[in-house]
Amino acid sequence: MKDLFDKIYRDKGPLGRWASQAEGYFVFPKLEGEISNRMKFQGKDVITWSINDYLGLANHPEVRKVDAEAALQYGSAYPMGARMMSGHTNLHEQLQNELAEFVNKEATYLLNFGYQGIMSTIDALVSKDDIIVYDVDAHACIIDGVRLHMGKRFTYKHNDIESLEKNLERATKMAEQTGGGILVISEGVFGMRGEQGKLKEIAALKKKYKFRFLVDDAHGFGTLGKTGAGAGEEQGVQDDIDVYFATFAKAIASTGAFIAADKEIIDYLKYNLRSQMFAKSLQMQLVVGARKRLEMLRTMPELKAKLWENVDALQSGLRARGFDLGTTQSCVTPVYLKGSIPEAMALVKDLRENHGIFCSIVVYPVIPKGLILLRMIPTATHTLQDVEDTLNAFSAIRDRLENGTYKRLSAAVSAAMGE
């Protein structure tokens, strides 16, 4: 019999194998200073494009004041216990009511964390006789939620309605045999590519197929739609989304999440969400802080307006210089370049050390071999000067990538990696 740890000693995993070269710089980097458009990395000032603080609320003085007052009043423990037992309060209910009104749903339920929350929601919505149909590019939290499902599941090609319809036909035949139902899952915004899910087209298929529709709108909530209510509002199909999920970890700049649906569905879910039934309630400091952030989202449209001013300046500037942004339809700004992993490491080091630009790097196996993805998140705190400095830096690093500078610089790393 093998030692359980043998596989760990032998194979660190597709990302872990780079740990000795990458950890502390390319992965698990340490940004320091107040959350803002400019922070410090290894003692140097950098323009930060990797903070999901879309509306600039994380370090807003009004938000910090409310957070501090709530911490002083309630501490970081209250309430103790799970919501069902001893962790339920009037303020939790008030936040839920305010969220429901904002996203135009009958009811909502607070979740401690987005990742566990969406997993548990999927688990609670389906039984072994039901069939799940979901976008192949769905976030890891959705994939892990689907893994809990004891029944059949199908993926459809990313944002491909023809592929979705073929899988709905398969799912319908299977559901007729099992006596179950169908759950379709998409994202409001796909966080890596920045594309909006084709929610309007998916919702239109309800006229032909019988299914319920779950949308994870982590990146759309607060950034899309006339009021900021998300991708469903943006596409005019919020009423057709049966279960709407969003997190506080992006536009709301906090911790926690919520699900929204008809009251009867929420009443069912709050009694069947294992990750919430058996976990400590969202602490009061976060509840009070989320209410303040939601109030600002509702009453300060200038925050979203400034965000989109920066998004438009960055994306139009990059496109004007010939950069490939794919098909982003959101604030998420991906820049695709061609190169190896060692070249990507040299490129990012140049960006950070010589140009003062900090953005996330994504390489194989997350994206296909030979591609480098630099992913940027504009926020309301960025300035047009930040954008101009970044555009100039990107032009410079592209030139060095294309003339082979990074290939020469990374030769030793390539040899060590066997590339």
Domain regions of the chain by residue span = 9-48+301-417, 61-299
pTM of the model as a whole: 0.93
Residue 242: pLDDT over 60: yes
Please provide the CATH number assigned to the domain covering 9-48+301-417.
3.90.1150.10
Q: Among 1.10.10.10, 3.40.640.10, 3.40.50.1820, 3.40.50.2300, what is the CATH number of 61-299? A: 3.40.640.10
The predicted structure's pLDDT at residue 414: 56
Mean pLDDT, residues 200-228: 97
Residue 110: pLDDT over 80: yes
Choose the weakest-confidence range: 70-74, 182-186, 387-391, 412-416.
Answer: 412-416
The DSSP secondary-structure symbol of 310 reads H
pLDDT tens digit sequence for 156-188? 999 999 999 999 999 999 999 999 999 999 999
Of 164, 141, 147, 149, the C-alpha closest to 217 is 141
- Gyration radius of the chain over CA positions: 22
Looking at the chain, the whole-number percentage of residues with pLDDT higher than 90 is 82
pLDDT tens digit sequence for 309-326? 999 999 999 999 999 999
Q: What is the overall mean pLDDT for the chain? A: 93
3-class state of residue 46 by DSSP: strand
The predicted structure's pLDDT at residue 369: 84
Same fold, 9-48+301-417 and 61-299: no
